[in-house]
Amino acid sequence: MRRVFLDVSRTISRLDAIIPTGIDRVERAYIDHVSDRYPDALAIGGFGKEYMISPLRDFLLSIQLAGDMKSLTFQDRFRLKLRPQQRLTKSLLRRRHGLMSQRVFLQKMKALSENKNRLLSVGHSRALQNLFSELSSMGLAVEFLLHDLIPVTHPEFCRPNIITQFKTYMEAIQKTASCVYAVSETTARSVVENHVFAGPVVARPGLTLSPQPWKPETEVPYFLVVGTVEPRKNLELLLDLWQKNNLPRLKIVGKSGWAAQSLFEKLENLKHDHRVEHLSEVKDFELANLYAGCQAILFPSHVEGFGLPLYEALSAGVPCIASDIPAFREATDGKLPLVDASDPEGWLSALSSPNRFISEISIPTWDTHFAKVAL
C-alpha cells in the first residue's frame, strides 16, 4: 500500500477558528479519514519559515488539544512576526511534532519518499507551494483538490493580493500535479478552461455537519445566512430588503471578510432594532440547531465553487432560497427553484413563501468522495 502524505497547512493556520469554513471542514474530513484508513500516513505542513512532519494520528491529537486552548486566535495567512496567541500554536507544534528548517524538511522528505507515494493537498494552502516541484522530483505523486477558481474567474470579488497569490498557486499546480480533483462540475470546467489541468476528476464532498431534527418552539421566526461577510456573498441585497421591508429576523453566521465596510454600516443600523443579528462565533452544534430552526436558509451568492451548506440544509429538510448560479444549478439538479442574484423583487417574493423552496435531492457522501480519489 502506498504511503499517504497529507498537507495539513491550512488546519495548522486555523487551529482555533470558531467557525470553520467549508474548506476547513473538508481538510478535517481528510485528516479523520486518512488517519483511520492509513496508520502510517504522515501530516506535513508549513508554519512561516518552518516545517513539520508528523504521524497523522499524532497530529489529529494535537488538533483536539488545540481545541481546548480557548485563548488562541489565528489568521488565515502565516505571518513571520507572530502575535502572542500564534506563538502558542508554534510552541504546541514544536513541542509535539518538532518544527524544522526547509533544508531539514526536504532531507527528511527525500528519505521518506518513494515512487508512487501520494502527497495530497486539499486546503488551497500556499505554505508548501514553493516546494511542490522538489517534492514531485522525489517521486511523490502530488495531487490537489480544488474547491473553486474564483480569484481567476471572478477577480472583482477578491483582494488584489489574493488574485496574484492564487495565480502563482495555480502555476505551481500546472507544473507539478499528477492528478487534480474538483469538488463540482462547475469547478472542473474552470480548471480546464483556465488550462490548470486537462482532466480533473469530479469528487463532491460529503456532509460535514448534520443539522439536528428539531425546531425550537419559542424561537422568534428568522431567516439564516451562513458564510463569510464579503462582497461575493451578495449580502447587501438582503440587507437592502431588510431595510425597506417588514421581514422576520435575519441571522448572519460567519466571520468578517474584506471590503465589507458598507455592509457593516448597514448591519449596525439594522442591529439596533434587533431585526438583523451577526453571529461571528458559533460552534457546530449551535449552527446545526440554527439550521433546523430557521424559516429558510438564504444563499444569494454571486459565485460559488460548490454548495456544501446548501446540501447540509436540504438534508435536514430546511427550505433553501438560493441564487441562480452554475454551482447551485448543478447542486440542485433542477429540483429546486432558484432566484436571480440581482433581482430584489424576486428575492422578496421568495421570502414571502419559503416553503416553495424545499426539495429532495441526492446528497453526496464521503464514501463516494473518497472512492473517487482512491483513498
Q: Could you read off the pLDDT of 71-123 as tens digits, one per residue?
A: 333 333 333 344 545 556 666 677 777 789 999 999 999 999 876 799 999 99
Residue 350: what pLDDT? 95
Cα separation of 245 and 247, whole Å? Answer: 6
Residue 301: what pLDDT? 94
- The CA dihedral of 98, 102, 107, 112, to the nearest 10 degrees, is 60
Question: Residue 207 is which amino acid?
Answer: L
Q: HSE, CB side, 13 Å, CA atoms: give it for residue 134.
A: 12
Residue 209: what pLDDT? 66
For the ranges 8-22, 98-112, 154-168, the lowest mean pLDDT is seen at: 8-22
Q: HSE, CB side, 13 Å, CA atoms: give it for residue 319.
A: 17
Phi-psi sector, 253: left (phi>0), alpha (psi -120 to 50), beta: beta
Give the residue-averaged pLDDT of 125-133: 94
* Per-residue confidence band for 229, with pLDDT thresholds at 50, 70 and 90: confident
Look-up of cell digits 485563548 = 71
Nearby residues of 208 by Cβ (< 8 Å), 6 or more positions away: 25, 26, 28, 29, 308, 312
